[in-house]
Amino acid sequence: MNPTQINSLYKVSEISIRYKYRVPFRDRIPVRSSEMAYEVLKSAWDPNKIELQEQFKVLLMDYRNNCLGLVDIGMGSINSCLVDTRLLFSSALKARASGIILAHNHPSGELSPSEADKKLTDNIWRGGKILDIGVFDHLIISPEGYYSFADNGILPSKPMPI
């Protein structure tokens, strides 16, 4: 190896993390129930896509259950959406979220969770447990209503703290 090649072995990309919240703490939206989470999510969802293609979003929550922000994690087809859990948790960690609320839509309007929905939720819940990020709920939404994993007792975590 020549000296240039040897020097290039010691070059490492520098990663920086910045915190800049646009909404001050006192103005953050408190989310205390699945109904409140649904209202926040529905207002942020593109009404032209909710019945067209599956999308997966995450509400990032602070330690007082106030909403830090909303992250678009994936957009898919008519009946499926790829969710990269690494992207999901990197967003939560960067925002210093204490908890998250998962959400996706079913363009068909059917609100019952599929086995794939349940398995994904369980995988994310286990990842959150390792990272000390609570998974408070998973909502399946439509323009007419929602299904809450927590309200229906199929989320392995504690209910949303109030």
| SS3 track for 71-110 | EEEEECCCCCCCCCHHHHHHHHHHCCCCEEEEEEECCCCC
Q: What share of the chain is helix, strand, coil (3-state, %, to 5)?
A: 30, 25, 50
Q: How far is CA 122 from the centre of its chain?
A: 13
70-109: pLDDT as tens digits: 999 988 787 778 899 999 999 999 999 999 999 999 998 8
What 3-state DSSP class applies to 146?
strand
Fold of 28-71+97-107+118-133+145-155: Cytidine Deaminase; domain 2 (3.40.140)
Mean pLDDT of 59-74: 92
Output the pLDDT for position 68: 92
110-159: pLDDT as tens digits: 999 999 999 999 999 999 999 999 999 999 999 889 999 999 998 875 55
> pTM for this structure?
0.84
Output the pLDDT for position 114: 93
Stretch (H or E) spanning 8: helix 3-8
